[in-house]
Amino acid sequence: MAMKNAASILDRVRGSTSGDPVPTASEIRAWAAASREALERTSFSELVRAQLRAAEIWGSEQTSHFGMILRELRVTDKRAPDTAWVTAEKAAARLPDPWRSAFQERISLSRSAKAHDRLLVMSAARLTAVAAAWGRWLRYCEQTATDVRPTATGLEAYAETITCEQEPPVSRTSCACYLERIVAAYKLAVPAFKSDACTFVVTQHREAARRSGTPTKTGAQLVGASAIYDHGFKLMERGRSNPLRGPHAARDFRNGILLAVGISMPQRARALSRLVYDETLYLLEPGVIRVCLSGEALKLPEIEKPFAQFDRTFRNPGLYAALVEYRDVFRPIMDPGKWLFPSCLDRTRAITEATVGSLTGNLLAREFDVRIPVHRLRDNVATEASEELEQGSRAVGPMLGHSSATTGQRHYDHSEGIKAAREHAAFLDRKRSAPCKLKL
C-alpha cells in the first residue's frame, strides 16, 4: 500500500504539464506519511526525482516546498547542546576535591554576576579552560610526583614537557596560556597564594610566545576583505542558480550570507551565532541594516557583559537585498525559525559558535587554498580598511571594537566605530558594483 501511494503522486508529477496544478505541501506530506517506509528504503531519491521533474515543469520557485518537506523528512530534532555554564560545571565535576568545590563556588558566584570585583567574576568559557588546564596539571603532577602547588621549577618542567617531549607538542602561545591558567586555578582554592617566581615564568613564556608568533596566523590568510565578501555573493548565486530550491540551495545561500555578514560587521563567531531576524538583526528602510547584540555575545569581562551592547546601523544595499531574498526565499526551506544561520542537522536551533568557526574555515579553504579562521576575518577587514578607507588605520580600532584606556576614550571609540562601520559597509558595496584590484 505504501508503494502504491508513493507511485500515485510521483506518477502525477511525471505526467503533469505546466497547465496542471502544482501538488500542494499538504498533498506531499500526506503522501510522505503513507510512504514513510518506502522513503526510508530509497533514501528519499524518489522525492528528489519528483522535485527535479516538478521544477522543470513549474519552475524552481513554485516547487520550493518540495525541498522544505524533504528537509522535514530527513532532519530530526537533536538534543539541545549544553550551555556555556553547564559545560563549565561538567569541567569542574571532573576534578577531585577540594578543587571541584572551589571551581563550583566560583561558577556559582560568576553565574549570578552580582560581585563588583572583576577578579572574582569569571566567564563560563574562562572557567572551563582553567578547569581543563588544572586537570592536565594534576595528571602531570601525579605521573611525575610533582607537588600540585605551582612553583617556578615545576612550571618550567611542565612547559618543557608539553612543548618538547609531548607528541604532538603544543605551541608556545598555548603553553603560556596553560601556565597562566594553572596559577589561576590554584588561586581559586588558595586565594592568598602569591608567587613572584611563578609570575616571572608565566611572563617569560608569554613574551616567548609573542616573539614566535601565532602558528595559526599566517600572511597567506590575508586574502582581502573584499575577496571574502565577493566569495560570499558567489555562494549565494550558486544557491540561486541551483535548479532545485531545496536544502542544498538554501545551505549555499546561508553560507554566502555568513561570509558577507562576517566581513560587514565584523564580529567574532560568538556574535555571528546570535543573529536572529527581527531580534538582533533588523532590516530597516531599504538598504539600511541594524545589528543589536547584548553583552553576552561579546568578548568582554563577565562583570561588564550585563551593561554592554553592540549596536551598529549601516547602509549596504547589496547585502540588504541578499538578506531580504534569503529571508523570503531560501531561509524558509531550512526550518520555520528566524535564526540567520540555521543548522543543517537540526531544525530547532541555529549553528553553534564552534560551527560558525569551522564552517567559515572550510568555505574559505576550498576557495583560497588556505584555512582562514573566522577571527581572521577581522584581520582582513583591518588590513583593507587601513589601506582603503579615508580614516586609514585610525578607523581599525574603533571598527573592530577594541577597548580604550579611559571612559572618555571609550565613548569616543564608540562613536568612531559607528562611523567607521558605515564607511566600511559603503566601501564593500561599491567594490561589488565596480570591482578593482586590491592593494594587498
Give the pLDDT of the chain (440 residues) as one tens digit per residue. 333 444 566 778 878 888 888 888 888 888 777 776 555 555 467 777 888 888 888 888 888 888 888 787 777 767 777 888 999 999 999 999 889 999 999 999 888 765 556 667 888 889 999 999 999 999 999 999 999 999 999 999 999 999 888 778 888 889 999 999 999 999 998 999 999 999 999 999 999 888 876 666 666 777 888 889 999 999 999 999 998 888 889 999 999 999 999 988 888 889 999 999 999 999 998 999 999 999 888 887 777 788 888 888 888 899 999 999 999 999 998 888 899 999 888 888 888 888 999 999 999 999 998 888 888 888 887 777 666 656 555 555 555 655 543 333 333 333 344 556 666 677 777 767 644 433 33
Query: With left for phi above 0 and alpha for psi between -120 and 50, is residue 417 left, alpha or beta?
Result: alpha
Measure the CA–CA gap between 100 and 94, rounded to whole angstroms.
Answer: 7
Specify the length of the chain in residues.
440
Measure the CA–CA gap between 353 and 292, rounded to whole angstroms.
Answer: 17
- CA 152 vs. chain centroid, Å, equals 38
SS3 content of the chain, % helix, strand, coil (to 5): 65, 5, 30
| Residue in the block written with cell 603544543 | 170
Phi, psi dihedral angles at 291 (to 5 degrees): -120, 125
Cell of 155: 612550571
Helix (H) or strand (E) holding 122: none
Measure the CA–CA gap between 401 and 399, rounded to whole angstroms.
Answer: 5
| Residue in the block written with cell 522544505 | 68
> Which amino acid is it at 280?
T
Looking at the whole model, is its pTM more than 0.75? Answer: no
Query: Residue 276 in 3-state DSSP?
Result: strand
